Amino acid sequence: MADEPKGLNKPVKLKADLASFLGASELPRTEITKKLWDYIKGQGLQTKIENGAPQNAGKYIVADAKLVSIFKNTKSTSKSGKLTDLTSIREGETINMMQMAAVVGANVE
């Protein structure tokens, strides 16, 4: 009998917006992150400048209409006490790629 997946490889339940975006109701966090990055890269939604135009490279992610629906669910405080509040993000605005973990965490149950 195979061992149950643990930690980041354990499937988690996706909240509605993310489930709709990814077309799945449960996925491991690693797979969620990979699929989000595949979409971001596929759409060329990276930029080197905060709130800059998409350049397909850089540490900022430009929110398109589909990503806004996922990013706006994010309001969490990290263990170090840093608040990530993307509830008022609008299309064309950016998030730092380091905020992706908070986004994933906010969109799973």
Rounded mean pLDDT of 77-87?
Answer: 92
Backbone φ and ψ of 36, nearest 5° = -65, -45
Q: Is residue 5 part of a domain?
A: no
Q: Which two tokens stand for residue 67?
A: 């990503």
Q: Which two tokens stand for residue 87?
A: 């509830």
Q: Is residue 41 part of a domain?
A: yes
In the predicted model, what is the mean pLDDT of the chain?
Answer: 94
Q: Which two tokens stand for residue 84?
A: 């990530």
Q: Is residue 76 part of a domain?
A: yes
| Region label for 89, one of left (φ > 0), alpha (ψ between -120 and 50) or beta (otherwise) | beta
Neighbouring CB atoms inside 10 A of 56's CB total: 13
Q: Please tell me the predicted confidence (pLDDT) of residue 8.
A: 75
Q: Please tell me the predicted confidence (pLDDT) of residue 7.
A: 80
Number of structural domains in the chain? 1
Query: What pLDDT, in 10s, does the model give residues 6-29?
Result: 887 899 999 999 999 999 999 999
Q: What is the pTM assigned to this prediction? A: 0.90
pLDDT at residue 50 is higher than 80: yes
Q: Which domain holds residue 18?
A: 10-106
- Per the CB < 8 A criterion, the answer to whether 11 and 5 are in contact is yes
Q: Is residue 2 part of a domain?
A: no
- Per the CB < 8 A criterion, the answer to whether 87 and 96 are in contact is no
CATH number at residue 52: 1.10.245.10
